[in-house]
């Protein structure tokens, strides 16, 4: 069956994966001990999408850099620059310009990384770490110079800024005073179908244009990287720059541009945090999402669709905490976890990987036992979940991941 799904066209394949995901959530609601409709509630989907966007943007940023062969561990620092410049731009010129200026702020970080790694051949990790140190200090310095002069601003935060406009889908989600089909479907309380209705409604209701633009960047990135001349040359820079050079491609140029795009995407992600999520620049507002974006890049196997899936997966547990007053939904994630791990057991057995199957079985059983002997989970559980997912995925699927062949290597023209 897995092979059949793999052969579907991209949109159908992803729709199938998403449906399987929702099916697991439905099963948990039906089988679980407690009332956990919060798992597939409209508000959960809405928040999850929002929380996923910065991770997605950081991941896509990482994609451009690493497809060009430059490891960008400085995404976090570039994102921080994005939060500051985004807020500053939004405060002075409105939220749309805020996003543009935030992206430019991130691109400045990308420029520094490009000059160091591409221009001078500095080790990518060293340069990235330097940018991660530089980012927060630059933001604080700028705040002390600029925001302290504003009403409501200080060295650690900006004044409030406006959000980008929102969009609600007509007919499906009842935008522009049209009928609300998905709400009707959700209220029917049919297993699976209503859950899908609720989730889609969450995605299509009151969606920020910034979110829509970020989501559009997924197919656009795929298109640019795999269908255009620019994309081919970026990819050769990451796969085998010497081959590209021998055919007259100016590798430096493509690496440079790709790293700046990378910074701009991370900056957009940072601006999204300031403008859309907190309506304010706050020191430390990124909370390490640049790094989670990097994890999403690996999890997503250096492909845009995979990065989106990973971002949603990482964003979901965060979103679940909001409005989960009794803690039952977070608790139910243990069962979701267990089901997913038992799925891995089946996959591993079919591929004759007995060790993997055994490990997955033990982890899945532990998760299930924890679920059945308790009623709530401590709140750190949900916080560490994204990291747990990353570790589990790396344990079982690391061999299937394929990063660009020359990723992280220092390229110098004329030296083969």
Partner 1 sequence: MTNAIELIGITKRFPGVLANDNVNLTVKEGEIHAVCGENGAGKSTLMKILYGMQPADEGVMRLFGRELSFSSPNDAIDAGIGMVHQHFMLANQLTVLENVILGAEPTKSAGLINFDEASSHLEEVGKAYGLTVDPNDLVETLEVGERQRVEIIKVLYRGAKVLIFDEPTAVLVPQEVEELFRNMRELKANGATIIFIDHKLEEVLEIADTITVLRQGKTVATVKPQNVTATDLAELMVGSELPKPQISESSNNNTIALALEEVSVLGDDERPLVDDVSLSVNKGQIVGIAGVEGNGQHELVGAILGTQEIDSGSISLMGEDISNQSVRDRRESGLGYVPQDRQDEGLLLTAPLWENAALGHQTLRPFSNGWRQWFIDKVGSRSQTEMIREKFDVRTPNIDVSAHALSGGNQQKLIVGREMVAQPSVLVASHPTRGIDVGAQASVWQQIRDARSAGLATLLISADLDELIGLSDSIVVMFRGKIVARLNPSEINPRSLGAFMTGAALETES
Count other Cβ atoms within 10 Å, centred on residue 338. 21
Give residue for tokens 């990063």.
403
**Closest by alpha carbon to 107, among 156, 140, 74, 68?**
74
Rounded CA-CA distance 26/196 in Å is 9
Are 251 and 237 a contacting pair, CB within 8 Å? yes
| 245 lines the binding site for partner 1 (CB under 8 A) | yes
Q: Compute the least distance from the CB of residue 248 to partner 1, in Å.
A: 3
Rule CB under 8 A: choose which of 165, 230, 372, 375 binds partner 1. Answer: 230
| 190 lines the binding site for partner 1 (CB under 8 A) | no
Closer CB to partner 1, residue 239 or residue 283?
Answer: 239
| Residue 94 burial (10 A CB sphere; 0-12, 13-18, 19+) | middle
Letters for 322-361 (x = contact with partner 1 by CB under 8 A, - = none) are ------------------------------x---------
DSSP 132-181: HHHHHHHHHHHHHHTGGGSTT--SSBPPP-PPPPEE--BTTS-BTT---H
| 31 lines the binding site for partner 1 (CB under 8 A) | no
| 124 lines the binding site for partner 1 (CB under 8 A) | no
Closer CB to partner 1, residue 373 or residue 398?
Answer: 398
Q: Compute the least distance from the CB of residue 357 to partner 1, in Å.
A: 15
Are 38 and 324 a contacting pair, CB within 8 Å? yes
Which residues make beta-bridge pairs with 170? 175
Closer CB to partner 1, residue 43 or residue 409?
Answer: 409
Helix H or strand E segment including 208: strand 207-208
**Closest by alpha carbon to 265, among 119, 411, 74?**
74
| 402 lines the binding site for partner 1 (CB under 8 A) | yes
Which residues make beta-bridge pairs with 282? 157
Sign of torsion over alpha carbons 40, 42, 43, 46: positive
Q: Compute the least distance from the CB of residue 122 to partner 1, in Å.
A: 16
3-state secondary structure (DSSP) of residue 286 = coil
Closer CB to partner 1, residue 92 or residue 246?
Answer: 246
Closer CB to partner 1, residue 195 or residue 240?
Answer: 240
Rule CB under 8 A: choose which of 50, 385, 404, 411 binds partner 1. Answer: 404
Q: Which stretch binds partner 1 (CB under 8 A): 15-23, 37-45, 58-66, 228-236?
A: 228-236
| 6 lines the binding site for partner 1 (CB under 8 A) | no
Rounded CA-CA distance 54/201 in Å is 21
Q: Compute the least distance from the CB of residue 227 to partner 1, in Å.
A: 6
CA 6 to the chain's CA centroid: 23
Q: Compute the least distance from the CB of residue 141 to partner 1, in Å.
A: 37
Closer CB to partner 1, residue 18 or residue 403?
Answer: 403
Rounded CA-CA distance 106/135 in Å is 9
Rule CB under 8 A: choose which of 24, 130, 213, 232 binds partner 1. Answer: 232
Closer CB to partner 1, residue 151 or residue 247?
Answer: 247
Closer CB to partner 1, residue 4 or residue 400?
Answer: 400
Count other Cβ atoms within 10 Å, centred on residue 25. 24
| Total residues at interface with partner 1 (CB under 8 A) | 25
**Closest by alpha carbon to 269, among 127, 93, 92, 64?**
64
CA 66 to the chain's CA centroid: 16
Q: Compute the least distance from the CB of residue 284 to partner 1, in Å.
A: 38
Closer CB to partner 1, residue 177 or residue 352?
Answer: 352
| 67 lines the binding site for partner 1 (CB under 8 A) | no
| 171 lines the binding site for partner 1 (CB under 8 A) | no
Rounded CA-CA distance 78/84 in Å is 10
| 414 lines the binding site for partner 1 (CB under 8 A) | yes
Binding site for partner 1 (CB under 8 A): 227-230, 232-233, 235-236, 239-240, 242-249, 352, 399, 402, 404-405, 414, 416
């Amino acid at each position: 069956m897995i092979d059949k799904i793999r052969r579907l066209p991209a949109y159908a394949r992803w729709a199938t994966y998403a449906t399987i995901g929702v099916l697991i959530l439905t099963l948990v609601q039906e089988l679980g001990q407690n009332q956990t409709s919060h798992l597939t509630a409209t508000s959960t989907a809405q928040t999850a999408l929002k929380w996923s966007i910065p991770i997605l943007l950081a991941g896509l940023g990482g994609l451009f850099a690493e497809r060009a062969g430059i490891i960008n561990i400085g995404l976090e620092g570039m994102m921080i620059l994005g939060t500051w410049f985004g807020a500053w731009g939004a405060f002075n010129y409105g939220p749309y310009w805020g996003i543009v200026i935030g992206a430019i702020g991130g691109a400045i970080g990308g420029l520094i990384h490009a000059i160091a790694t591409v221009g001078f051949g500095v080790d990518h990790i060293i340069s990235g770490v330097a940018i991660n140190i530089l980012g927060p200090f630059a933001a604080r310095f700028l705040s002390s110079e600029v925001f302290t002069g504003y009403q409501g601003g200080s060295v650690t935060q900006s004044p409030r800024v406006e959000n980008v406009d929102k969009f609600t889908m007509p007919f499906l989600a009842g935008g522009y005073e049209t009928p609300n089909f998905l709400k009707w479907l959700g209220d029917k309380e049919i297993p699976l179908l209503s859950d899908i209705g609720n989730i889609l409604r969450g995605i299509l209701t009151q969606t920020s244009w910034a979110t829509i633009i970020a989501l559009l960047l997924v197919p656009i990135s795929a298109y640019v990287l795999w269908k255009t001349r620019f994309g081919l040359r970026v990819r050769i820079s990451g796969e085998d720059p010497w081959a590209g050079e021998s055919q007259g491609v100016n590798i430096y140029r493509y690496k440079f541009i790709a790293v700046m795009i990378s910074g701009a995407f991370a900056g957009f992600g940072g601006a999204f945090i300031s403008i859309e999520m907190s309506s304010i620049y706050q020191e430390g507002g990124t909370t390490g999402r640049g790094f989670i974006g990097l994890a999403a890049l690996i999890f997503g196997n250096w492909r845009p669709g995979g990065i989106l899936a990973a971002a949603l997966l990482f964003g979901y547990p965060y979103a679940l905490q909001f409005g989960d007053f009794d803690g039952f939904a977070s608790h139910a994630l243990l069962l979701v976890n267990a089901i997913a791990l038992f799925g891995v057991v089946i996959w591993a057995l079919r591929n004759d990987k007995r060790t993997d199957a055994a490990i997955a079985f033990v982890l899945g059983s532990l998760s299930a036992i924890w679920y059945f002997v308790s009623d709530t989970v401590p709140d750190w559980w949900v916080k560490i979940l994204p990291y747990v997912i990353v570790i589990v995925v790396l344990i079982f699927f690391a061999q299937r991941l394929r990063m660009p062949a020359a990723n992280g290597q220092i390229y110098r023209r004329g030296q083969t």
